[in-house]
Amino acid sequence: MNFFGYKRSDGRAGIRNHVLILPTCACGSETARIVASQVRGAVNIIFNTGCSDVQANTDLSQKILTGFACNPNVFGVVIIGLGCETVPHAKLREKIQSMTSKPVVSFGIQEEGGTLKTIEKAVRAARDLAAEAALQQKELCDISELLLGIECGGSDATSGIASNPAVGNLSDKLIDLGASTLMSESIEWIGGEHVLAKRAATPELHNKIIKICADYEAHLKAAGQDCRAGQPTPGNKFGGLSTIDEKSLGCIRKGGTRPIVEVLNQAERPTKRGAIVMDTAGYDISSVTSMAAAGCNAIIFTTGRGTPTGNAIVPVFKVTANAQTFSWMEDNLDADLSGIISGKLTIDAAGDLLLKKIFDVCNGRLTKAEAYGFSDVAVDHVCRFV
């Protein structure tokens, strides 16, 4: 199977062709938003960090920002900096240019003489990039260029028995066709990590999965915390999930059954093809952020309670198997899998349905969050004050 996408010079393929207006820090976010609003084909992200931080958090922020810029769905980048942040716009521009041949320009608000002068220059630059992007034609791309992120949020009792297994079936089908999938949220492996680790292709990967969960629990314990205080969430409990073990055993099913070929750190770009997992926080928006930074060109998101979330760079396709949730939140959800619960739809048939819908998204169909212009970004801090 193939899809029509935008081939990049590094060999990857985008399913969108965005001009990204990228702030270096929170102080540049509003200016970036205004610039993007003036140029058709431009998108922006709101960044909540980027300054006055410890080195580990700065490193993660830079990994996220450069990952966004290098995502295959991005044609070119306009960086908006303030001028006194930890990593100024010129350095971020140089770093991105060392990683990709995409066109990248940058401006500093303090250097340009304020917001209005920066907007004027940045809008002109973004307009020129958008004009170039419009000339790029879609080409037939091999399915191996699809990296599908897999996420869940607002889980309920239907998630683990219906929507997650259906997405797991989709993952297996895609991998068998030559694509790759990426599942994250390692806190939601806890209690089921021994099951997930059995899928590891090597003993080293098996042990790494187990160690990720053990280290996270030890980290929280050293800070006087317990992940079970926040997991399951109040919404999960209302939806019928009683323990983190029960939630995790349902969550990991969305990753399918194929051998895990790589275990990534947060926002790290994969080096292999197949079933991949990433060590991220349990907050769904920060996990989606990290998967977008890792280069996913599409994301599928299962939910039981419902969610409006979306990402400016990567289409987020949301599914539920809860009929009441789909009826109530149809404006936000892209697929109804409640037939699994009612017995009208098998898991395998649901996987086939999702496969067709994901290919539609790859070929240009907008997800609902995309049509609304939703852009949710959250960066989980490596180091926290407690």
Cα Rg of the chain, angstroms: 20
Q: At how many degrees (to 10) do helices 347-362 and 164-177 cross?
A: 60
Beta strands 180-183 and 147-152 are: parallel
Among 104, 32, 92, CA closest to 59: 92
Q: What is the pLDDT of residue 385?
A: 43
Among 312, 334, 316, 314, CA closest to 325: 334
Residue 113 Ramachandran class (φ > 0 left, ψ -120 to 50 alpha, else beta): left
Q: What's the predicted TM-score (pTM) here?
A: 0.94
Among 354, 247, 376, 236, CA closest to 304: 236
pLDDT under 70: residue ranges of the chain: 226-233, 235-247, 383-386
